[in-house]
Structure 1
Amino acid sequence: MKKRTFLASGLAAAFATACTTTSSSSGADSAAKRSSIDASVDSALSKLYAQVPGSRDMTSKAKGVLVFPSVVSAGLGIGGSYGQGAMRVSGRTDGYYSTTAASVGLLAGADSKAVYILFMTQDALDKFRASRGWTAGADASVTMLKSGASAGLDTQTAQQTIVGYALSNAGLMANLSLDGTKVNRLDL
């Protein structure tokens, strides 16, 4: 089991390293990257609002919304995922972030999904912002919303400090957990 964990960690690290931008990029490259991420976030939010009833109301109640428009997962037995996105506070970008995760199990192939993490309280948002790397499940629990009645704000989700959506090309994903997913601020 330790060998699998070691291999999964190594694969995730290699995957993340391959996907990150170098710190030697010019200011123009950084501005272009920020603009590209912002456009993708806008598009991902529009898609969420169009496909998931109640999501616009839910995001409007959030103190901050972290959006990863395209989290790509790939693997064969051991896998990893990576994506870049932005935090929106009061409708404006408040920072750029990357997400990574490793997995072990019955994996074969690749897929892409959009991930939305809603910080429903100011305290939850402040703790996220103060972290030097945040891990879902370890630093905070994320309640994933599913299609149907639970996709919007109800009495159960209203009590949660952090909620999330995951949207694939087929629609809202069920039975998905973000536990173990790491989020780090990008220096763009």
Structure 2
Amino acid sequence: MTLSRRTLMMGLGSTTLLAACANGVGSRGPAMIDARADATLAQLYNEYPGTRSLGAKSAGILIMPLVTEAGLGFGGAYGRGALRVGGATVDYYSVAKASGGLQIGGKQYSHVLFFMTEQALMNFRRSPGFAAGANIEYAIPERGETLAAETTTSLAPVIAVIFGQSGLHVGATLEGVKYTRIIP
């Protein structure tokens, strides 16, 4: 049996997307997501103390404890997390990412979205699926650096902090990210 290149790529893409869905959060429900969100937020605040002030000033925080990303030509990522307002979980969300281009590898990371205005939080919660785009300021801390709200990030309605990366994923891709409310 001979596989065409197209069939092989479709199979690898499907396998990658399915593998990305098994990111360790599991289906044990809200208690597991909340426990992982607590640990992730504690890790962020311990490793990057400047983020505490972002948390204190924010209207809400979306915590994605573990996002798994993999790709070979086509790729994808998936993770689940909790939206907190005033320190209490109010909703659960998934993040799904699709990409295509020259890429190979896999990685896992955590990320936290700080909603710096009530309007940004309201827009996120009311949308059927929030697509990340130009309205988010990304802050990717390097080991040993202090991450704080500078003038460029303090004016952004949403600040994303990506940290705790492991694995290797390289390439040049076009990608899209979507956050969707879920019932775990």
TM-score category of the 2 structures, normalised to the smaller one? 0.7 to 0.9
Corresponding residue SS for 1:53: coil
**Per-residue deviation at 1:115?**
1.0
**Per-residue deviation at 1:87?**
0.2
Corresponding residue SS for 2:149: coil
Corresponding residue SS for 1:160: coil
| Aligned counterpart in structure 2 of residue 56 of structure 1, from 49, 52, 58 | 52
Q: Do residues 34 (structure 1) and 30 (structure 2) align? A: yes
Q: What is the match of residue 145 of structure 1?
A: 139
| Aligned counterpart in structure 2 of residue 46 of structure 1, from 32, 42, 49 | 42
TM-score calculated relative to the size of structure 1: 0.76
Overall identity of the aligned pairs, in %: 36
In structure 1, list runs of 5 or more residues that go unmatched.
21-28, 171-178
Contact 2:21 2:77 in 1 (8 A): no
Contact 2:59 2:116 in 1 (8 A): yes
Q: Do residues 102 (structure 1) and 129 (structure 2) align? A: no
* Gap change, CA 1:152 and 1:89, over 3 Å in 2: same
**Per-residue deviation at 1:36?**
0.2
Q: What is the match of residue 133 of structure 1?
A: 129
Q: What is the match of residue 176 of structure 1?
A: none
Q: What is the match of residue 169 of structure 2?
A: none
Corresponding residue SS for 1:45: helix
Contact 1:80 1:100 in 2 (8 A): yes
* Gap change, CA 1:183 and 1:16, over 3 Å in 2: farther
**Per-residue deviation at 1:154?**
2.1
Relative to its length, the structure with more helix (as a share) is: 1
Summarize deviations over 1:154-181 as a string: whole Å, max 9, x none: 22211111101001246xxxxxxxx721
CA distance in 1, matches of 2:49, 2:88: 23
CA distance in 1, matches of 2:85, 2:56: 10
Contact 2:63 2:81 in 1 (8 A): yes
**Per-residue deviation at 1:108?**
1.9
TM-score calculated relative to the size of structure 2: 0.77
* Gap change, CA 1:104 and 1:110, over 3 Å in 2: same
In structure 2, list runs of 5 or more residues that go unmatched.
1-5, 167-174
CA distance in 2, matches of 1:136, 1:142: 7
Letter in 2 for 1:122: E
- How many residue pairs are counted as aligned between the two chains? 161
Larger Rg: 2
**Per-residue deviation at 1:18?**
8.1
CA distance in 2, matches of 1:132, 1:16: 23
| Aligned counterpart in structure 1 of residue 17 of structure 2, from 7, 11, 15 | 15
Q: Do residues 75 (structure 1) and 71 (structure 2) align? A: yes
